[in-house]
Amino acid sequence: MYRVHDELRTLSDVSDPLEIVADRFCAEANIICFDEFFVSDITDAMILGTLFEALFRRGVVLVATSNIPPKDLYRNGLQRARFLPAIALVETHCHVLNVDNGVDYRLRTLQQAEIYHYPLDAKATENLQRYFQQLISSDQQPENQIEVNHRLVPVNAACDGVLYATFAQLCQTARSQNDYIELSKIYHTVLLADVKQMDKSNDDAARRFIALVDEFYERHVKLIISAEVSMAELYLQGLLEFEFKRCQSRLVEMQSHEYLAKQHLA
């Protein structure tokens, strides 16, 4: 969706910009593939119905994998009724196949690395500080603020492709998905400290945390966390239970030696 939003910004004075976006996509490919398709953002939800209709009208084929069946996409989302036409288009133009065999492959026996620390105590803080010092060059001087999309963001420390920041700094302040995309390009390793337990009272922070994990996962960013509770307890009852289970699954995979061996996609 980052590409779609970027295209729309260049077409602000056009009456039907999504038609032009669809033309551009169609000129590049006649098959579009989405891996692990899901919708959590209201702006994306409002765009997708019109965009899908334009793409299908042009004969573009959509292939997607998802942990969520079409009928449950954007469940509990704001103004979800306006997203229902997009679901109807997917169900009309795509063959929906259930290939679930009851196994969550991310949760299979993965060799775990010691990169998730709880509870928040002196040992967890000491571990993250030690990891940061080991990961950076000794002759480099860390900075305590970074520039993200032309804005300065205070952090604990940043140096040599390694970012050490708190949950409050990255998830409890105004951050967009584009910010997390930018961070995932700049830093190959992120140490995220003081992650709080989340529930319906702080769903905004939970949404940002999910977006952060998604972008880091896609670019193979190594994520080291200190948290208030265990990973299984990070999110209690609330509107994002379904989405957070997917996030937890990714966090588990991100601890595996296989994931840690992947090259960062800058």
Q: What CA–CA distance (Å, rounded) separates 220 from 185? A: 10
Q: What CA–CA distance (Å, rounded) separates 36 from 149? A: 26
Residue 198's Cβ-side half-sphere holds a number of Cα atoms within 13 Å equal to 29
What does the pLDDT read at residue 256?
84
What does the pLDDT read at residue 237?
84
What one-letter code names the amino acid at 52?
F
- Structure tokens that stand for 151 in this block: 């804005």
Residue whose tokens read 């700094």? 169
Per-residue pLDDT of the chain (266 residues), as tens digits, is 778 988 999 998 888 999 999 999 999 999 999 877 878 778 888 899 999 999 999 999 999 988 788 998 887 777 888 899 999 999 999 999 987 666 554 334 334 347 899 999 998 998 899 888 888 876 778 999 999 998 999 999 999 899 999 999 999 999 999 999 999 999 999 999 999 999 999 999 999 999 999 999 999 999 999 999 999 999 998 899 999 999 999 999 998 878 887 888 87
Q: What CA–CA distance (Å, rounded) separates 23 from 41? A: 24
Condensed to tens digits (0 to 9), the pLDDT of residues 213-263 reads: 999 999 999 999 999 999 999 999 889 999 999 999 999 999 887 888 788
| Continuous segment of H or E residues that includes residue 57 | helix 42-57
What does the pLDDT read at residue 136?
84
Q: What CA–CA distance (Å, rounded) separates 92 from 250? A: 30
What is the DSSP track for 111-131? PBPS-EE-S-SHHHHHHHHHH
What does the pLDDT read at residue 98?
85
User: 128: alpha, beta or left, given left = phi > 0 and alpha = psi -120 to 50?
Assistant: alpha
Q: What CA–CA distance (Å, rounded) separates 98 from 65? A: 10
What does the pLDDT read at residue 108?
41
